[in-house]
């Protein structure tokens, strides 16, 4: 009898290849002996053919599952999304919205956890002593989806009547204005801060750095910084650092080894975690967990890379390490350790290297090398 139900969402493009590679590793470590995989539909093809990149049937599968392993999706701007939609669904008011963002909001997966660790022997490492973790708030901020173009008259009127700095936009035609809102809630801010501090405390990190811009974005960034200063008092072993997002981009290049846990808002976290990922090999090594109180979705942070579809070429390590994070979340600690140790040994040994690492190992070849190492352990 299965202990777990895992929803598998390969998605678009290379998502299928990297998820297959991760499942192969999970098979080898013995996890698949106790799991039922439920494959779900998600991504660009379902937007084009159904007008919904996250069909209701997939949401139902997720509700039956303990957690999900996700591959990659294609997302395109509004005009391109409209152009590629099946004619049957055009002019019906359908608007493309990223299905992974919708998943995060629908299941309240408020933590986006992105470890950035340098594995010895990786020729792409900026330094070999980098071990930092980004906590990105995952449901609010600029990605909350509250935006308008053109701007409704009532919305513009409310802005002008309630904020003096909005008045200078009052002479613009409504169709010449676009507004995207950056919404923080005290609840959202406090819980991502608390999660980052608990993690730092549990895993022995000495610092938690709040990465925001309170000197300019005073209300939203200010709320996060103020709450951080209050919460840190509950963690006497931790030191709170505060850094502006632009300065953090520089400090990560100058001395990334000095940082432990970084915590920030949705868009800033998206950007800064990609920069941090590049320091330890790039998106081929960048994995993440979208984690809530009762549900989680684990994924590589790269896109669907359509130019590599069908070439069996891309690096699957990010997805394999995302599967490792899934094992940790399910409290399958021994299996998780086996997977990470095998990945680390294959990287250090250097015989298997995908194109991004300067080699010619295929996607399946890298998965096979990791599986072989697990079998020898």
- Is 143 labeled as catalytic in the residue annotation? yes
Q: What is the rounded distance in angstroms from the CA atom of residue 90 to the CA atom of residue 120?
A: 51
Phi and psi dihedrals of 334, rounded to 5? -65, -45
5 is catalytic: no
Catalytic residue among 96, 143, 205, 259: 143
The active-site residue out of 17, 41, 270, 368 is: 270
d(CA 88, CA 92): 9
DSSP string, 289-357: EEE-SS-EEEEESS---GGGTTS--S--HHHHHHHHHHHHHTT-HHHHHHHHHHHHHHHHH-S---GGG
β-pairing verdict for 261-264 and 131-137: parallel
The active-site residue out of 128, 129, 176, 246 is: 246
Active site residue 41: no
How many Å separate Cα 175 from the centre of its chain?
Answer: 33
> Do 259 and 240 contact (CB within 8 A), yes or no?
no
Owner of token pair 């299905």:
99
Token duo for residue 102: 């919708």
**Of 117, 213, 313, 324, catalytic:** 213
Is 246 part of the annotated catalytic residue set?
yes
Tokens 């956890």 appear where?
113
Whole-angstrom distance, CA of residue 244 vs CA of residue 315: 33
Is residue 317 a contact partner of residue 118, using CB atoms and an 8 Å limit? no
CB 209 within 8 A of CB 232: no
Active site residues: 143, 213, 246, 270
């Amino acid at each position: 009898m299965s202990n777990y139900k895992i929803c598998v969402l390969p998605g678009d493009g290379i998502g299928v290849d990297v998820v297959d590679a991760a499942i192969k590793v999970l098979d080898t470590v013995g996890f698949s002996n106790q799991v039922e995989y439920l494959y779900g539909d998600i991504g660009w093809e379902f937007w084009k053919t159904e007008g919904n990149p996250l069909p209701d049937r997939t949401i139902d599968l997720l509700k039956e599952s303990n957690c999900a392993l996700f591959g990659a999706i294609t997302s395109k701007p509004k005009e391109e999304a409209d152009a590629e939609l099946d004619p049957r669904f055009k002019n019906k008011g359908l608007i493309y919205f990223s299905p992974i963002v919708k998943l995060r909001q629908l299941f309240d997966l408020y933590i986006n956890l992105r470890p950035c660790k340098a594995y010895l022997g990786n020729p792409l490492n900026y330094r070999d002593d980098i071990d930092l973790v980004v906590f990105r708030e995952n449901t609010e901020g600029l990605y909350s989806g509250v935006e308008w173009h053109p701007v409704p008259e009532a919305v513009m009127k409310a802005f002008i009547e309630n904020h003096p700095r909005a008045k200078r936009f009052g002479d613009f035609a409504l169709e010449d204005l676009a507004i995207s809102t950056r919404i923080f809630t005290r609840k959202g801010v406090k819980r991502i801060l608390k999660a980052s501090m608990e993690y730092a405390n549990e895993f022995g990190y000495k610092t938690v750095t709040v990465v925001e811009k309170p000197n300019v974005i005073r209300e939203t960034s200010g709320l996060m910084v103020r709450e951080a200063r209050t919460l840190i008092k509950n963690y006497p072993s931790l030191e709170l650092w505060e850094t502006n997002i632009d300065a953090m981009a520089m400090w990560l290049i100058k001395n990334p080894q000095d940082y432990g846990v970084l915590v920030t808002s949705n868009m800033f976290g998206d950007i800064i975690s990609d920069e941090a990922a590049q320091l330890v090999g790039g998106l081929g090594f960048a994995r993440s967990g979208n984690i809530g109180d009762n549900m989680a979705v684990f994924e590589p942070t790269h896109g669907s890379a359509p130019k590599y579809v069908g070439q069996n070429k891309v690096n699957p390590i990010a997805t394999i390490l995302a599967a490792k994070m899934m094992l940790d979340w399910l409290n399958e600690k021994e299996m998780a350790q086996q997977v990470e140790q095998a990945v680390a040994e294959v990287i250090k040994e250097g015989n298997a290297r995908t194109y991004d690492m300067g080699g010619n190992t295929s996607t399946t070849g890298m998965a096979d090398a990791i599986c072989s190492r697990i079998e020898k352990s």
